[in-house]
Amino acid sequence: TRYLLAKPNAAHYALATLAHPPTLARIAPSTAQPIHVTQNVDALALRVLESLPSSQEDKDAGTLSPADSIIEMHGDIFVTRCTSCQHLQRSYAPQLASALADLEKGQDSDARPQLTVDQLPKCGGDAWAGSNRYGRCGGLLRPKVVWFGEMPPRSGEIARKMSGCDMLLVVGTSSIIK
């Protein structure tokens, strides 16, 4: 649950402000709206972008929404994807299944958790009662993040945007995978 307590820092706010239409209009009036690419899965950049005020003028001008102006290269830990129906859901709840809450409370940190497949988070939640409807199909949920060995799903899009950009800022990364 530590990731739930994470807060954006000054760098998150500085980068988001650069992409904010009123700021961008003052510093680079003829520039298209930038795309923010992040390798982090903590959604801090998105939360900052969503917290900035937007005006009706921005919406009328076709300014991208915060969710559309950011590419979370390695996904978002707060979004789950059903492995059966592919339903996506954002949740800031500490646990997605009651068994996980029980596990966090009662397990020795060295003990290996003992869960059955029936106790894992599922599409429709703990109260799933056999429906097969989209978003309530009972399929297993997984975080919408890229695991080691998986290819980031939007890497081609990122490469195209980078090859055609006028300016690229790289902040806070070693670009080394360990």
Tokens in use for 168? 């690229």
User: How many residues can be counted in the chain?
Assistant: 178
Q: Which residues are catalytic?
A: 74
Q: Is the CB of residue 150 less than 8 Å from the CB of residue 134?
A: no
Per DSSP, 136 falls in state: B
Going 50 to 52 to 56 to 59, the CA torsion angle's sign is negative
Tokens in use for 140? 């297993």
